[in-house]
A = this chain, B = another copy of it.
Amino acid sequence: MKNKKLVLQKRPVGMPSEDCWDLQEDVLQELQDGELLIENHYVSLDPAMRGWMNEAKSYIEPIALGDVMRAGSIGKVIQSNGHPMFKEGDVLSGMGGVQQYVKTDGKGFYKVDTSLAPMTKYIAVLGMPGMTAYFGILDVGAIKEGDRVLVSGAAGAVGSIVGQIAKIKGCEVVGIAGSKEKCDYVVNTLGFTSCINYKEENMYAALKQHCPKGIDVYFDNVGGDILDTSLAFLRKKARVVLCGAISQYNAEKVQGPNNYLSLLVNRARMEGMIVFDYADRYKEAAMQMGMWMMEGKLKTEEDVYSGIENFYSTFQRLFTGEKRGKLVLKIKEDE
């Protein structure tokens, strides 16, 4: 039995080029005692993957050259050699990587119930991006009713959920997105108070208009000029949640926020978060968000592309912004 897998073969400088990866095919070895074979149905494409490709150690080990490209995944167990917890037919989510099949002892994988939600939701709102949004805005952002909340990447996997949670909690929510179409989606479908098109509008003037009394919480997915300008609008005791910096991941030199002294004069804080720290509370978040979805308060969308051979063109959408909601790559071929 053969396995197509995408292997990291070169570390990128700036925007990754296609030859950073190599699509290889090898023959699957037989399962050892207690091992599983999972057939990947979908992999999750996330901005964090760009960081994992760098050589420097960060909050997680870098992907080694020659290893399968790390990615969140969801798939079905097609063989179990006496695994103590999982059996054939179980649907498992974990870090299966960009490949067709995962031969594993099951560590780090958990079973999900596809009668409650389709597979793609488990790597989106019920997976890493959803957990990031939930703990980021509630725990780090510490939103309160009446807060004015600003969210960049508002049409994206994390931002779209952040803003809706803030609305549910009684905040006024201003989004930032990169097209008129996205802004319309953010306001009309997701129910944000308003949305700024940063590619067309002057950010300073727009923030002055949309946040006339300033910002209580800024949830930052982008970094760069948008972060910098937003800092100038912080209110007293404001919180800036650092979740990502998509505008900087391919930069050779990161651009820091020159307006950082706004944190000082406003006794505000800027705090980073990594979703893995909340692993023991994922269940709480998934149950709450499932409830909100059933009540129609939380809308989520996955933007699904197909074919492991289309990884590169799909991955690029993270940086060009040509996507809406959670970016997903379907790996399993149609029968």
Contacts and interface: CB of A to CB of B under 8 A. Distances in A.
Interface of A: 58-59, 223, 228, 242-245, 248, 253-261, 263-274, 277
Contacts of A269: 269-272
A59 B245 contact: no
B274 A264 contact: yes
B264 A272 contact: yes
Contacts of A271: 263, 267-271
A259 B255 CA distance: 8
Given A269-B271, A269-B272, A243 B257 contact: no
A272 B266 contact: yes
Contact of A260 (B59, B253, B257): B257
Nearest to A276: B267
A334 to B, nearest CB: 39
Q: How many copies does the complex hold?
A: 2
Given A58-B265, A264-B274, A269-B270, A256 B257 contact: yes
The 3 closest A-B pairs by CB, nearest first: A264-B272, A269-B271, A256-B258
A277 B267 contact: yes
Contacts of A254: 258-261
14 contacts: A58-B265, A59-B267, A223-B261, A248-B261, A254-B261, A255-B258, A256-B256, A256-B258, A263-B272, A264-B273, A265-B272, A269-B270, A269-B272, A271-B271
Contacts of A270: 260, 263, 269-271
A254 B264 CA distance: 13
Contacts of A256: 228, 255-260
Contacts of A267: 59, 271-274, 277
Given A269-B269, A269-B272, A270-B269, A242 B258 contact: no
Contacts of A255: 256, 258
Contacts of A264: 242-245, 272-274
Nearest to A274: B267
Contacts of A244: 264
A8 to B, nearest CB: 20
A155 to B, nearest CB: 21
Nearest to A249: B261
A59 B261 CA distance: 12
B223 A265 contact: no
